[in-house]
C-alpha cells in the first residue's frame, strides 16, 4: 500500500513538472479594434523578428502556414490572417530587447475593426455583434465563433499551460467616442478576464493606448475619456499617442505603430522594474 502511494506521488510530481508553467515565458493579452488589429504597411524592417518573441495564433491562417492555438515567431501579421502592423508588434520586440535572454515574450491578439468595447462583455456581447451591417464586420466576428471574448479566453487558458500572463494591452475607443461610460465598460471586461483566468490585478496591469490625435482625426476627443481610466481601474496605465502620425483620420501609419508599441513596452518594463 505504501509502495503504491509512493509511486503515485512520484508519478504526479513527474507529470506536474512536465506540464508546469514556464515562469520565464511572459504572455500578454492584446485586444481592441482596428488599430490593435494592425493597419500599418508591413515593411522589410518589420519582418526580422527574434524567436524569443512569439505569437499564440488566434485563427487558422493557411496563407501564413499557421494553425490556431500554436506558438510561432511573431512575424507580422500577429492578429488576423490578413491584418497588418500593429502596436503589439513593437511592444514585443522592445520587451525582449530589454529583458534578460532567459525571458521569452508571447502575445495573444484578438481584435475587431469597428467594434464597440462591449463586444468583449461576456454578458451582453450579442447586442454588439452587429454594430455594423457590412459583411466585413460580420465575417470578423464569425471568425471568432461569434463571441470574441470567449474566443480570447479559451486561447488564454490554453496558453497559461505554457507561460505566465503578465499584462493586458488594450487599444480601443474610436467607436465609443464621446461615451463617458467607456471606462465602466472597460473595467467590467478587465475584471471578467482576471476572474476567468484566475489572475490578480496587482500583478496583471491593464495598458490602454490613446487613439490617433493628429489634426483632422476622427476621434481624438476620446482621449480625454481614455485618460480617466485609472480613476476606475487603479492598475490601468495610459499610453500616449502624442506625436504618432496617421495614414488616415483613424489609423496610425507604420511608424506611428512602432512608436506606440515602444511606449506600451516602456511602460510595462517600468512596471516590471526594468
CA 71 to chain centre: 15
Count of C-beta atoms within a 10 Å radius of residue 230 = 14
Active-site residue list: 34, 248, 251
In sequence order, which residues have a C-beta less than 8 Å from that of residue 146 and are 6 or more positions away?
A: 129
Burial 4-29 (b: 16+ CB within 10 A, else e): eeeeeeeeeeeeeeeeeeeeebbbbb
Residue 171 is inside which H or E element, if any? strand 164-171
Distance spanning both ends of the chain, measured CA to CA? 52
C-beta of residue 72 within 8 angstroms of C-beta of residue 55? yes
Q: Please, are residues 191 and 237 in contact by the beta-carbon 8 Å criterion?
A: no
- Contacts of residue 8, defined as CB under 8 A and 6 or more positions apart, other chains included, come to none
Closest CA to 260 of 207, 205, 203, 182: 207
Amino acid at each position: 500500500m505504501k509502495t503504491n502511494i509512493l509511486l503515485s506521488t512520484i508519478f504526479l510530481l513527474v507529470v506536474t513538472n512536465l506540464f508546469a508553467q514556464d515562469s520565464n515565458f511572459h504572455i500578454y493579452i492584446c485586444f481592441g479594434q482596428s488599430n490593435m488589429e494592425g493597419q500599418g504597411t508591413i515593411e522589410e524592417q518589420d519582418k526580422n523578428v527574434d524567436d524569443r518573441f512569439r505569437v499564440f495564433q488566434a485563427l487558422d491562417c493557411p496563407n501564413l502556414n499557421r494553425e490556431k492555438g500554436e506558438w510561432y515567431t511573431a512575424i507580422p501579421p500577429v492578429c488576423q490572417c490578413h491584418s497588418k502592423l500593429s502596436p503589439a508588434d513593437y511592444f514585443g520586440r522592445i520587451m525582449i530587447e530589454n529583458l534578460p535572454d532567459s525571458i521569452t515574450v508571447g502575445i495573444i491578439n484578438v481584435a475587431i475593426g469597428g467594434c464597440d468595447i462591449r463586444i468583449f462583455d461576456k454578458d451582453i456581447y450579442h447586442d454588439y455583434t452587429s454594430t455594423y451591417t457590412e459583411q466585413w464586420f460580420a465575417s470578423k466576428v464569425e471568425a471568432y465563433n461569434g463571441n470574441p471574448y470567449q474566443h480570447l479566453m479559451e486561447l488564454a487558458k490554453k496558453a497559461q499551460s505554457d507561460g505566465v500572463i503578465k499584462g493586458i494591452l488594450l487599444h480601443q475607443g474610436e467607436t465609443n467616442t464621446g461615451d463617458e461610460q467607456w471606462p465602466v465598460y472597460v473595467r467590467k471586461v478587465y475584471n471578467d478576464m482576471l476572474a476567468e483566468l484566475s489572475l490578480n490585478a496587482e500583478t496583471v496591469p491593464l495598458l490602454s493606448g490613446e487613439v490617433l490625435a493628429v489634426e483632422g482625426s476622427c476621434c481624438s476627443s476620446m482621449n480625454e475619456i481614455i485618460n480617466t481610466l485609472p480613476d476606475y481601474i487603479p492598475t490601468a496605465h495610459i499610453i500616449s499617442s502624442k506625436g504618432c502620425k496617421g495614414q488616415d483620420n483613424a489609423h496610425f501609419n507604420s511608424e506611428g505603430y512602432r512608436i506606440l508599441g515602444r511606449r506600451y513596452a516602456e511602460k510595462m518594463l517600468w512596471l516590471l522594474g526594468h
